[in-house]
Structure 1
Amino acid sequence: MAPYRNVQYWLGDFHRRRVLTNKEKFNHSHAKLRNVVERAFGLLKARFPVLKRMAPFPLVTQRNIVIACFALHNYIIKEGLSDEYFSQYNQVDISLQSNNVQDDDDEEEDDVDEVQPRSARDREYMVHLRDQIADQLMRVE
């Protein structure tokens, strides 16, 4: 699900002022979630180099490899085994603010990866779902 276009997106944009609209709130939440996901995959790629150079396996196999890596990582954390990668990534403040703050709205849109829905009906559904999430986020805080 893509963030709203022509609305602030990068975390650094929100440090300058409060989030006011439901679209800004959605984009802020989207950016924070994206930051967490990028950090998680960065950690996994450091621990499991196979993820950096994924062989041309079928998509299902690639998915299963990623799931297995997350499961192994979570097992290491749960069992309290020595984990240099987790410690390293936990100490480093990796944020989209420092890496991706842009001043031009067009550049921001280009940097956001979008997966296009297959049909007009799918697009309409996703737009409606995004609007519902944005409205719910405004009611939460």
Structure 2
Amino acid sequence: MPGFISPYRGVRYHLNEHMGTPINNRSELFNLRQSSLRSKIESTFGLLKNRFKILTVKPHYPFPTQVDIALTCTILHNYIAIVDPDDDLLNEDITIDDDDGEIANEGEDDNVVDFTQNI
């Protein structure tokens, strides 16, 4: 599919495969970052689907309208977060399989940027 960057095949991908082991090369680092991002996106869509039930049903709208609905729901969610930071959905415990520890970048290439530092 044009514009889709798939993970490297035959290289560790899932977050639980990276726990306790260092990153060995740029392919593993890319797969780790993609897996982590995918997890965050799925969690975010889960939160939006809990708030806006229109996102959970089979769409009967053209694709551009579906995109507008998702964007509108996101904007409304962010507005609610600003106006009411004590909102129940915002303060739900959401479990994400993610390794918050630092991962050493002990790869073969020194030009790989290490984004694992906690801010």
Q: In 2, distance between residues paired with 1:46 and 1:137?
A: 42
Please name the residue that 2:95 is paired with.
Answer: 93
The one-letter code sitting in structure 1 at the alignment partner of 2:87 is: D
Matched AA of 2:44: A
Structure showing the higher helix proportion among its residues: 1
Whole-angstrom CA distance in 1 between matches of 2:62 and 2:55: 14
1:70-126, CA deviations, whole angstroms, 9 ceiling, x for partnerless residues? 0000001112354111211xx2322278xxxxxxxxxxxxxxxxxxxxxxxxxxxxx
Any stretches of 5+ residues in structure 1 without a counterpart?
98-134
Aligned residue runs from structure 1 range 5-20, under 5 A:
5-20=9-24
Partner of 2:113 in structure 1?
139
Give SS of 2:30's match.
Answer: helix
Q: Given the superposition, is the C-alpha separation of residues 59 and 96 from structure 1 closer, same or farther in structure 2, using an over 3 Å criterion?
A: farther
Question: Higher relative CO (CA 8 A, sep ≥ 6), structure 1 or 2?
Answer: 1
Write the distance in 2 (CA, Å) between the matches of 1:4 and 1:96.
Answer: 19
Confirm whether residue 70 of structure 1 aligns to residue 74 of structure 2.
yes
- Separation of aligned partners in 2, 1:96 and 1:35: 8
Structure 1 residue 25 corresponds to structure 2 residue 29: yes
Distance in 2 of aligned mates of 1:40 and 1:82: 18
Question: How many correspondences in the alignment?
Answer: 102
Give the Cα separation in 1 of the matches to 2:11 and 2:114: 20
TM-score (norm 1): 0.65
Q: 2:51 touches 2:89 (CA, 8 Å); kept in 1?
A: yes
Tell me if the contact between 1:54 and 1:62 (Cα under 8 Å) persists in the aligned partners. Answer: no
Q: What does 1:97-108 align with in structure 2 at a 5 Å threshold?
A: none
TM-score (structure 2 length as normaliser): 0.76
4+ runs of 1 displaced by more than 4 Å?
none
